């Protein structure tokens, strides 16, 4: 069999790994969209590096767009096979993929207005809402911790990865040439002791492992510091400076964690009495999916539910759904907190909120998750003085802050714990994906000391598996 890497190869986003068996069956692990890669982002997303019509199965680790976002394009270009994932992943993908299509449609309208004025050819979105709906017809769900026969020669197992609701480590048991090979794909690995979710489960012994490495060279700050940090930035910005606190946050996972911590401050009677807006219809739907899957919650949150029936709601919280209402927030007269997608500030409503607030020093932009260096969020964190947002050059006068305690990805300590159940002598090859190359090199060195034989695949690279 052969494995080839067509995304998240020496970069963080665009997760796509294609397994080709000796009998010709092709199994795709994830079908993610590249994000935050600057001018090359669109080009990377336009070309898969393989023929979608030849793929027989897609195994989806979780619903984040950098793992699922090109599924409608895959279907549009000829894929007709099954898409296998957990029930919660399917529910999230349903809303995330349609939202992605809407964002592409709206951004394309905006871009084309400028292209028409310059006499340039019109830009086309990668897929439509109809394409996203067609893709959902191919989804099939499996339960955690139950082996499932994908074909007569391939069995698969989904175990909880602890990253977001529904996320899974995917283990494949493949029989060919009179022997069995076990390959495990980590997807994204969560944190041990996550504030809301269960810790990553142990997964079966493998011969080959594909493992993420987003924070393979870092240790996170203690999660318990998060409510104090939120209190500090809300109080500093909204109470002391009378400004607005803008928090770019992914709709799935990060937004719910923020709401959980703000609810904790409210339960303690310490939440500043300002207005809190979640400006993202997607976040509303995603939060409901999270609430519908409380079985994934850890014991602490389950105990909290005995006295607080909704740990994601508190006084002063308002969800903003319509576009008109979102636009009107520009005229909101009082200091407020705005939580809006996307997390890297590359698209969505938060980009408009940043544009409206970035040139006043009383405001704060608070980044609470990973940002690609070339994304708007990454540029702000790295201290740029000017940014271009929707064609306008803007001075960065607002305070730029970053919370490093919040991450749905495990750090190198978590990743090493995740791999601790494996015997390095049994692993024929450990492929490191989903990380910046410099981070991967450092992580690879750490794993090599533990006895693993490590490979860092490049884009479109291929490897034969014994």
Indicate the DSSP class of residue 49: S
Alpha carbons 199 and 183: distance in angstroms, whole number: 21
Alpha helices in 11-166 (DSSP H): 41-46, 65-68, 71-76, 87-117, 129-136
Structure tokens given for 1: 């069999």
Compute CA distances 35 → 14, 83, 156, 330, whole Å: 7, 22, 29, 27
Indicate the DSSP class of residue 180: E
Determine the distance from the C-alpha atom of residue 249 to the mean position of all C-alpha atoms in its chain, rounded to a whole number.
10
**Helix, strand, coil tally for the chain in percent (to 5):** 35, 20, 45
Structure tokens given for 321: 């759904």
Compute CA distances 377 → 139, 223, 268, 341, 402, whole Å: 33, 21, 31, 12, 10
Alpha carbons 277 and 334: distance in angstroms, whole number: 12
CB-based contacts of 336, cutoff 8 Å, min separation 6: 238, 244, 245, 274, 275, 276, 277, 329
Q: For residue 346, what pLDDT is reported?
A: 86
The tens digit of pLDDT for each residue in 137-185 reads: 999 999 999 999 999 999 999 999 999 999 999 999 999 989 999 999 9
Alpha carbons 252 and 250: distance in angstroms, whole number: 5
What number of other Cβ atoms are within 10 A of residue 246's Cβ? 25
Structure tokens given for 333: 């007269």
| Closest of 153, 426, 198, 404 to residue 293, by C-alpha | 198
Compute CA distances 286 → 86, 166, 339, 353, 362, whole Å: 15, 12, 14, 21, 31
Angle 261-95-432 from CA coordinates, rounded to 5°: 75
Q: Please identify every stretch of the chain with a pLDDT value under 70, giving residue numbers as ranges.
A: 223-224
What number of other Cβ atoms are within 10 A of residue 78's Cβ? 11
Q: For residue 197, what pLDDT is reported?
A: 94
Task: Give the total residue count for the chain.
Answer: 466
Q: For residue 250, what pLDDT is reported?
A: 87
Q: For residue 328, what pLDDT is reported?
A: 94
CB 456 within 8 A of CB 446: no
Transcribe 69-106 into DSSP letters: TTHHHHHHTT--SEEEE-HHHHHHHHHHHHHHHHHHHH
Residue 169 pairs with which residues in a beta bridge? 159
| SS3 at position 342 | coil
Q: For residue 224, what pLDDT is reported?
A: 66
Determine the distance from the C-alpha atom of residue 402 to the mean position of all C-alpha atoms in its chain, rounded to a whole number.
18
């Amino acid at each position: 069999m052969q494995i080839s890497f067509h995304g998240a190869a020496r970069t963080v986003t665009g997760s796509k790994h294609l397994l080709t068996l000796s009998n010709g069956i092709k199994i795709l692990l994830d079908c993610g969209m590249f994000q935050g890669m600057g001018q090359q982002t669109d080009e990377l997303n336009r070309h898969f590096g393989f023929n979608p019509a030849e793929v027989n199965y897609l195994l989806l680790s979780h619903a984040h767009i950098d793992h699922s976002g090109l599924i409608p394009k895959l279907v549009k270009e000829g894929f007709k096979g099954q898409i296998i994932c957990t029930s919660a992943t399917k529910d999230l993908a349903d809303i995330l993929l349609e939202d992605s299509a809407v964002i592409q449609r709206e951004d394309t309208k905006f871009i084309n207005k400028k292209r028409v004025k310059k006499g340039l050819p019109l830009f086309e979105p990668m897929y439509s809402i109809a394409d996203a709906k067609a893709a959902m017809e191919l989804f099939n769900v499996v339960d955690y911790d139950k082996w499932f026969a994908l074909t007569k020669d391939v069995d698969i197992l989904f175990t909880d990865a602890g990253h977001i609701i529904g996320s899974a480590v995917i283990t494949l048991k493949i029989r060919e040439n009179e022997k069995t090979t076990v390959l495990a794909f980590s997807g994204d690995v969560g944190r041990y002791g996550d504030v809301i979710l269960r810790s990553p489960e142990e997964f079966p012994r493998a011969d080959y492992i594909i493992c993420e490495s987003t924070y393979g060279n870092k240790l996170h700050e203690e999660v318990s510091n998060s409510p104090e940090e939120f209190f500090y930035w809300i109080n500093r910005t909204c109470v002391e400076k009378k400004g607005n606190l803008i928090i770019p946050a992914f709709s799935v996972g990060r937004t719910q964690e923020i709401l959980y911590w703000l609810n904790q401050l409210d339960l303690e009677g310490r939440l500043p009495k300002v207005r809190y807006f979640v400006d993202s219809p997607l976040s509303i739907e995603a939060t409901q999916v999270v609430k519908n899957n409380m079985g994934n919650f850890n014991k602490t949150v389950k105990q909290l539910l005995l006295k607080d029936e909704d740990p994601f709601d508190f006084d002063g919280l308002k969800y903003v759904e319509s576009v008109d209402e979102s636009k009107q927030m520009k005229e909101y007269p009082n200091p407020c907190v705005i939580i809006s997608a996307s997390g890297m500030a590359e698209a969505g409503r938060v980009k408009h909120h940043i544009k409206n607030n970035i040139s006043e020093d009383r405001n704060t932009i608070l980044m609470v998750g990973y940002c690609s260096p070339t994304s708007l969020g990454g540029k702000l964190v790295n201290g740029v003085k000017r940014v271009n947002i929707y064609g306008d050059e803007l001075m960065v006068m607002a305070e730029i802050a970053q919370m490093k305690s919040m991450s749905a990805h495990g750090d190198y300590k978590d990743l090493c714990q995740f791999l601790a159940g494996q015997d390095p002598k049994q692993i024929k090859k450990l492929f490191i994906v989903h990380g910046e190359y410099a981070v991967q090199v450092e992580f690879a060195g750490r794993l090599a000391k533990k006895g693993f034989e490590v490979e860092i695949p490049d884009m479109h690279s291929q490897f034969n598996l014994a």
